[in-house]
Amino acid sequence: MRKNLLMTLAVSSALAFGVVACGDDDETPSGGGEEQAASNGGGDLSGKIAIDGSSTVAPFAEAAAELFQEENSGVQITVGTSGTGGGFEKFCAGETDISDASRPIDEEEEVPICEEGAVEYTEVQVANDGIAIATNKELAVDCLTTKQLKQIWNKGSKVKSLADVDPSLPDTELSLYGPGTDSGTFDFFTDEINGEEGVSREDYEASEDDNQLVTGVSGDEGGFGYFGFSYYESAADGLNLVGVDSGDGCIKPSAETIQDGSYTPLARPLFMYPSAKAMQRPEVKAFMEFVVAQARAIAEAAKIVPLTDEQTQTAKDELAQAEAGA
Amino acid sequence: MTGAQIAARAAGRSVIPKAARRDRAFAAFFRALMYGAVGLSVLALATLLYDVARDGLPKLSVDFLTSFPSRIIPANSGIESAIYGTLWLMVVCAVIVVPLGIATAVYLEEFADRTKWWNRVVEVNIQNLAAVPSVVYGILGLAFIVRGPISLGRTVLAGGITLALLVLPVVIIVAREAIRAVPSSIREGSLALGATQWQTIWKQVLPGSIAGIATGVILALSRAIGETAPLLVIGAAVNPRFNPEGLGSAFTALPIQIFAWTQDPNREFVDLAAAAILVMMVVLLLMNSFAIFLRNRYEQNW
Amino acid sequence: MGRRTSLVRRPSGRSRFEAAIKAILFGAAVVSILTTLAIVFSLLKETIAFFGDVPVGDYLFGTKWTPQFQGDQQSFGVLPLVWGTLYLTGIGLLVAIPIGILSGMYLAEFAPTRVRKIIKPVLELLAGVPTIVFGYFALTFFTPEVLRNALGLGVNQFNALSAGIILGVLVVPTIATLVEDAMAAVPQSLREGSAGLGANRVQTAIRVVFPAALSGIVAALVLGTSRAIGETVIILIAGGQTANLSLNPTESYQSMAAFIAATARGDIPTGSIEYETIFVVGMTLFVFTLVLNMISIRMVRRYRQVYE
């Protein structure tokens, strides 16, 4: 009887080990980039690409990774979301291959660190983005001026409802949502609207995860938040988009107004910074070329505002230059 | 018996006086409260299962089990990397926790002199460890195993070790009970026949308690499978499109994937979370049934 | 006189082997000590570093928790997190204590065997459900369908009521099974005596068995509280991420454990002040649960002693 028990246990453990150890082999696109070259799925590229940085660029990077891996299943790409600042920290320490950024690399604070770490890079614009101001569907407001936005979001603001900035607006108590302070979106918004980066009121629901913000705003009666435009687009049914008036009339964010810059001041370019060292690896080179060539398709898949034709050309030139120089 | 009771018995009535009406009313009310309480528990479980099943069943398919998570197309998303991650973690966890747990339990039950203070410290310490929140084990993993002295990085091995430390106290406690259940007559008989202490343990006590130990280990592992907080703190990968290749690989796990999908504003992904929950619950159900089967089949009735 | 035969056998190969085994097993036991030491050490190290930057008084008594901001907007008062933890635990216990005690009492004193065969597995199932499932349930069903649609309450997407109630549901099996154990351990003689004095079963249960099992029941409550305090995922998913010091259950709150899991996502840079906040909050949480656990161990020992 004991022998049976031991046998049962032994067999089940062996099964578990077996599934784990052998299970990978007959799966199609899976790991194994080290020992075996990519089996099915074509392409003989293999290796790992580490991408980290802005959570706004992340959907683009992840869509690019997915589409790239359809042709090159031997390449493992991980996309982290430490925020633009956090991404650059790792990038300049040599820990990542490509840094996602929702703003250019900071001349004063970040460039010196990269120089110290002997990390050379290329700045490639891959898409456009705007920050969408959104409210809950029940909270109907069509337009806000930048001044009103500052009133609501500035440090020390006591604004409790939209009626406080404009008596004609509803007096529902606001439920504020916004990105956390590590986020490039936060930096950009506070810089443009409040006048100084990092300065903001504190009593809002902060999250690095834009998805949570969207869920929050669409769920609360007085929901009011700001996040990347692509996150708005993927949940547009449950949200009310607010237009921004910076002096030239009310402009609502859309692919066009973001691309041509009329949605100011909350439109911005999105970048990927591949390091020169990483570009020497064939898989990284192929990936970046894929990104630039397919930028439009990737942006559409990720529901991000794509580059204009002109911007696409510039990006291709930048990349070609980088490859030639390397 | 009182005089009234004797008289009652003589008259053929009940000896114990019937409770006053107020008491009976209260008793009925209290019973209703209890039924309500129990009913609420059953209702809670039923609603939970119903909700998960309603959201998740439509999304279950073989494709779901054999695809990787996609960030952009919910219809193509699956939990392959999560399943493999969980399996890897479980194997690492079991390999560590089974020998360590049994060895500690054997030491405490068979060798430790209870009067020595250090043995009492070990005992109390294990009970305290069992009550430490799982997120603190995550902090331990991050500071000590992923970074710090051991510096394994955000790998499967680090995750497995952290989970092992988390469930180790539970395994020790369960193994101790199983070993304690072996009657001392068995031990004494073995010693009387000339066996040494270790021979007694190896040949009599352990085989006699192995059913209880195995049940406990499986239950502890099933607890480890469902743990989210420690893996979050260590840095499990989110939406990876690869399976772990080795102990040094990045990983995800079913609870982590569920966690990520649950919070997605896209309803499609939320439903995928429910489907993944169903898969996880089935795995847990299988494990628990296996544990109960082992206990019933091989339980020693001394 | 012949050679003096020692009664003490000199260590033969066998006993040396036995001694080695004992040493190895002791080594295994020591791992548990090492674990505790490692936990305390890693928590302590960063906590001390933290208090190098932030005065202890500011941390313990400050009422604003905004570690992620910069400059003069940054504040490290932990009270909102502690309050959030206690508030959510309180709501949970309000649910779990009555249901748990009543269920445990029912199982111990009243339930016929047929009903027991159903209820006990239900409780065991509930106890085995991973907390992430409860979190999913709270966010995607309880908040929208129960609180908002069915009850018409105007709660936030992330709110304390939902997280607290579901937290209570999580803890019910713990309390119920321990209360049942405590009451079942009360000797039958007490019940018989009570019946002999004319009490009905409810009176016996409430006035005799319950007080007799009191220390075990209190131990159950303390353990349930400890479990609720340490719970992370339900609050993280359904309770929100705002450190809140008010009393409004429709708003979002953050507990200590939820803060740790939200902040420490594996890529936080070592040595930064945010990294340190994880540890100091973790230390606070650890102390809370340690104290609670020691109390419950004492109570369990007391009630076991009375009847063994």
What are the extents of the domains in chain A? 2-121+275-325, 130-267
Contact B23 C267 (CB under 8 A): no
Joined together, the tokens standing for residue B32 give 């209703």
pLDDT at B17 over 70: no
Q: How far is C305 from chain B (nearest CA, A)?
A: 17
Whether residue C113 sits in one domain with residue C7: no
Q: Residue type for B109, please?
A: E
Residues β-bridged to residue A98: A51, A274
DSSP code, position A198: T
The answer on C105 and C13 residing in a single domain is: no
pLDDT at B118: 82
pLDDT band at residue A216, thresholds of 50, 70 and 90?
confident
Nearest to C156 among A90, A203, A220 (CB): A220
Could you read off the pLDDT of C9-52 as tens digits, one per residue? 555 677 888 888 888 998 998 999 999 999 999 999 999 999 99
A189/chain C closest Cα distance in angstroms: 14
Q: What integer pLDDT is reported at residue C305 of this predicted model? A: 59
- Looking at residue C130, its pLDDT comes to 94
pTM: 0.84
Of B23, B132, B140, the CB nearest to C200: B23
Comparing CA positions, the residue from C74, C80, C78 lying closest to residue C242 is: C80
Chain C residues closer than 8 Å to A203 by CB: 242
pLDDT tens, residue by residue, A240-280: 999 998 888 888 888 888 888 788 888 888 999 999 999 99
The pLDDT tens digits for A253-262 are 888 888 887 8
Q: What does the pLDDT read at residue A30? A: 39
* Model pLDDT for residues A153-177, shown as the tens digit of each residue: 998 888 888 888 888 888 888 989 9
Name the minimum distance, in Å, from the CA of B41 to any CA of chain C: 8
DSSP state letter for A275 = B
Verify whether the Cβ–Cβ distance A234 to B70 is below 8 Å. Answer: no
Q: What is the pLDDT of residue A153?
A: 92
What's the CA gap between B64 and B57, in Å, rounded?
11
CA-to-CA dists, residue A51 to A73, A185, B82, angstroms? 17, 18, 21
Stretch C115-131: mean pLDDT: 88
If you average pLDDT over every residue of chain B, what do you get?
88
ipTM of the complex: 0.88
Q: Is the pLDDT of residue B283 over 60?
A: yes
Mean pLDDT of C175-193: 90
- Same-domain check for residues C133 and C220: yes
Judged by phi (left if over 0) then psi (alpha if -120 to 50, else beta), residue B187 lies in alpha
Mutate to test the interface with B, among C18, C107, C132, C299 (most CBs of B within 10 A): C132
* CATH of residue C116: 1.10.3720.10
The yes-or-no verdict on residue C98 having pLDDT over 90 is yes
Contact flag C267-A89 (C-beta cutoff 8 Å): no
Q: Is any Cβ of chain C less than 8 angstroms from the Cβ of A202?
A: yes
If asked whether residues C121 and C266 sit together in one domain, one would say: yes
B72 lies within 8 A of chain A by CB = yes
Flag the least confident range among A245-249, A285-289, B51-55, B100-104: A245-249
Interchain CB contact of A132 with B (< 8 Å): no
Can A2-121+275-325 and A130-267 be said to share one CATH topology?
A: yes
Nearest to A105, CA basis, from A114, A93, A96: A114
Portion of chain A with pLDDT greater than 90, in percent = 19
Q: Based on the domain organization, do C31 and C132 belong to the same domain? A: no
The mean pLDDT of C139-160, rounded to a whole number, is: 86
Contact flag B48-C32 (C-beta cutoff 8 Å): no
CB contact under 8 A, A209 and B263: yes
Q: Is residue C58 part of a domain?
A: no
- Count CB pairs under 8 A between chains A and B: 88
The dihedral built from the CA positions of residue B80, B85, B88 and B93, taken in this order, carries a sign that is negative
In this structure, the answer to whether residues C191 and C276 fall within a common structural domain is yes
pLDDT at residue A25 in the model: 40
Nearest residue of A to residue B244, measured between CA atoms: A31
Q: Is A219 on the interface with C (CB under 8 A)?
A: yes
* A210, C247 Cβ separation under 8 angstroms: no
Q: What percent of chain B has pLDDT over 90?
A: 45
Q: CA torsion C247→C172→C216→B19, rounded to 10°?
A: 100
pLDDT of residue A6: 66
- How far apart are the CA of B107 and the nearest CA of chain C, in angstroms? 5
Mutate to test the interface with A, among C64, C65, C68 (most CBs of A within 10 A): C68
Chain A contact for B239 (CB, 8 A cutoff)? yes
The residue in chain A having the minimum alpha-carbon distance to the alpha carbon of residue B298 is: A5
Q: Residue A204: what pLDDT?
A: 87
Inter-chain contact A207–C269, Cβ cutoff 8 Å?
no
Q: Which residues of A touch C240 (CB under 8 A)?
A: 205, 216
Same domain as C109, residue C12: no
Q: What is the DSSP string of C62-119?
A: ---EETTS-GGG-EE--HHHHHHHHHHHHHHHHHHHHHHHHHHHIIIII--HHHHHHH
Q: Do the Cβ atoms of A206 and C269 come within 8 Å?
A: no
A13 and B71 within 8 Å at the Cβ level: the answer is: no
Shared domain for C98 and C48, answered yes or no, is no
What chains are in contact with C, requiring at least 3 Cβ pairs below 8 Å? A, B
Mutate which: C202, C203, C229, C296, vs B, most B CBs within 10 A: C202
Nearest CA-CA distance, residue B208 and chain A, Å: 9
**How many contacts does A have with C, using Cβ atoms within 8 A?**
52
Give residue B40's pLDDT.
Answer: 92
C221 part of a folded domain: yes
- Is the Cβ pair A181, C144 closer than 8 Å? no
- Residues in chain B with CB shorter than 8 Å from the CB of C239 are none
C161 plus C286 within the same structural domain: yes
- Is B240 close to A16, i.e. CB distance below 8 A? no
pLDDT at C297: 81
B168:C110 CB<8 A: no
- A59/B72 Cβ within 8 A: yes
Percentage of chain B exceeding pLDDT 70: 96
Count of domains in chain C? 2
Q: pLDDT tens for residues A74-92?
A: 888 888 877 788 888 889 9
Q: Is B87 in contact with A16 (Cβ distance < 8 A)?
A: yes
User: What fold characterizes domain A2-121+275-325?
Assistant: D-Maltodextrin-Binding Protein; domain 2 (3.40.190)
Asked if the structure places residue C60 within a domain, the reply is no
Q: Check residue B71 and give its pLDDT.
A: 78
Chain C residues at the A interface, defined by Cβ less than 8 Å, are: 64, 66, 68-71, 73, 143-144, 154, 156-158, 240-242, 252, 262, 265, 267, 269
Lowest mean pLDDT among A27-41, B49-63, C157-171, C274-288: A27-41
pLDDT in tens, C228-281: 999 999 999 998 888 888 888 888 899 999 999 988 875 677 778 888 999 999
- Mark out the alpha helices in C233-272 (DSSP H runs): 233-238, 256-263
Q: What is the mean pLDDT of chain C?
A: 87
Q: Is A147 on the interface with B (CB under 8 A)?
A: no
Query: What is the average pLDDT across B285-292?
Result: 87
Residue ranges of A 5-64 with Cβ closer than 8 A to chain B? 5-6, 8-9, 12-13, 16-17, 19-20, 23-24, 27, 29-34, 59, 62-63
Burial class (CB in 10 A: 0-12, 13-18, 19+), A225: buried
- C68 within domain boundaries: no
Question: Which chain B positions have a beta carbon within 8 Å of C233's beta carbon?
Answer: 228-229, 255, 259
pLDDT category of residue A32 using cuts at 50, 70 and 90: very low
B266 CB neighbours in chain A (<8 A) are 234-235
Residues C47 and C77 in one domain: no
Q: How far apart are the C-alpha atoms of C71 and C74, rounded to whole Å? A: 6
Average pLDDT over residues B252-256: 94
Interior angle at CA C279, CA C275 and CA C284, nearest 5:
145
SS3 A101: strand
Task: Answer whether C237 sits within 8 Å of B262, measured CB to CB.
Answer: yes
* B300 min Cα distance to partner chain C (Å): 23
Confidence at A37, pLDDT banded by 50, 70, 90? very low
Looking at residue C179, what is its pLDDT? 92
Domain match, C48 and C94 both: no
The average confidence (pLDDT) of chain A is 82
Check: CB of residue B203 under 8 Å from CB of residue B290: no
C128 and B284 Cβ atoms separated by less than 8 Å: yes
Among chain A residues, CA nearest to B69? A66
Which domain, by its residues, includes C106? 73-307
Residue to mutate among B14, B128, B129, B139, with most C CBs inside 10 A, is B139
pLDDT > 60? residue A35: no
* pLDDT confidence band for B38 (50 / 70 / 90): very high
Report d(CA A76, CA A23) in Å as an integer.
Answer: 18
Highest mean pLDDT among A17-31, A195-209, B273-287, C241-255: B273-287
Q: Which residue of B has its CA nearest to A34?
A: B245
Does A130-267 carry CATH code 3.40.190.10? yes
Residue C63, domain member (yes or no): no
CA C202 from centroid of its chain's CA atoms: 30
- Mutation to test the C interface, candidates B233, B278, B295, most C Cβ within 10 Å: B233
DSSP state of A46: -
CA B165 to chain CA mean position, Å: 13
Task: Give the pLDDT confidence score for residue A39 in this predicted structure.
Answer: 39
Same-domain check for residues C40 and C156: no
